[in-house]
Chains A and B, each alone.
Chain A
């Protein structure tokens, strides 16, 4: 039976891992290769490395990180942040990434999704969406690190993204992000029910029960950062707990 996935996310700036609470108060955590290897040994199912380096000129530092991660770890990993063109896809895939996540650039030019999917296959195109409640029962798409409301409806944009060729949707709830009060279950349920591709839930993980709840809501994978980085939740314990709750998990007993 296909297992649900636990996905630690590592924000990387200038080649180092950082984590921000709602994109602020960033603290240094560790070396991306070491931390990636650590999580892989802990039986994380997948990793996301998100480049938050402000300057485009320092991009080569990040590509070196991607290459070093690919040499060291043997589980799938996704690269996000600063992906604007098909050539950016090419660079990180050639460095060894398995998937590439796009966010703001795809909103600005949706054809990017189609071009990347046609060239490299839908399986490596992840559409990442920053979603915020609009107070009327739906969600709006934000871009530029959550600073700008596009006015787009999340459900409509996710559907369009899949039609263009996105192979997965990573949905980040801005309302829940950094709060540790649980994933946005309604949002994840709505997307899982409506879309034929896997949904990666992001934003809000605080307890092991939060993971159980979002998998029950239909998410295929759950992404978190600080609960793992600061040791509040250990991945092996989380997997044992979820397996005990009847959620299919890869090798808690391995």
Chain B
């Protein structure tokens, strides 16, 4: 399956690319509109700050293209900072308007626990029969590294949360838009299974 990994100069894309390759998929790191249009799945990865992420999406003129593709039903997946970009606003170091594909904002952790929320944490699914749960163990752990999170945690787009001084949205999605706060490409067998589930879901149409 053709997967477009958006190259907008935010973070390291090698690991995202390697993860799809290990599953036998056909990823390409690109910002070429034609390649993005032809892909069955578009992934927005990202590690860094939202200010740079949104500025670069704008700089490379990707926002109208992504809006068009999502509207036309293309499966669009944001990971970590790429997930933050899916919401309406982000309060990391200012107030930034984001893509608005999913409802809610991104806010800093307010906790006495260590920040960033870093390491392996357990997914708790809000939706019992969600297609992403296929093949997962009873206690699926995934790898998180983040200092900001989606809020609130109880809106209908929240598919799974992780417990860190309260529920933290870990997987959010509506229809053909999906966000993962953790790094599936770094989450061992569980991460690989989640990515495989995405492939299966997109292929089924």
* Residues of A bordering B, CB below 8 Å: 1-3, 5, 40, 43, 45, 70-71, 74-76, 93-96, 98, 121-124, 167-168, 196-198, 220-221, 250-251, 253-254
Contacts and interface: CB of A to CB of B under 8 A. Distances in A.
B119 A167 contact: no
Given A74-B185, A123-B145, A250 B19 contact: no
B118 interface: yes
Nearest to A77: B186
Size band of the interface chain B makes with A: 35 or more
Main secondary structure of the interface of B (DSSP, over half): mixed
B188 A75 contact: yes
Interface string B25-63: 000000000000000000000011000000000000000
A101 B48 CA distance: 18
Given A2-B121, A74-B185, A121 B47 contact: yes
A40 B191 CA distance: 13
B136 to A, nearest CB: 9
A96 B14 contact: yes
A198 B118 contact: yes
Interface in B162-192: 163-164, 183, 185-192
Contacts of A75: 143, 186-188
A2 B143 CA distance: 10
Contact of A70 (B15, B115, B119, B122): B15
B116 interface: yes
A223 to B, nearest CB: 14
Contacts of A220: 114, 119
Nearest to B115: A196
A130 to B, nearest CB: 23
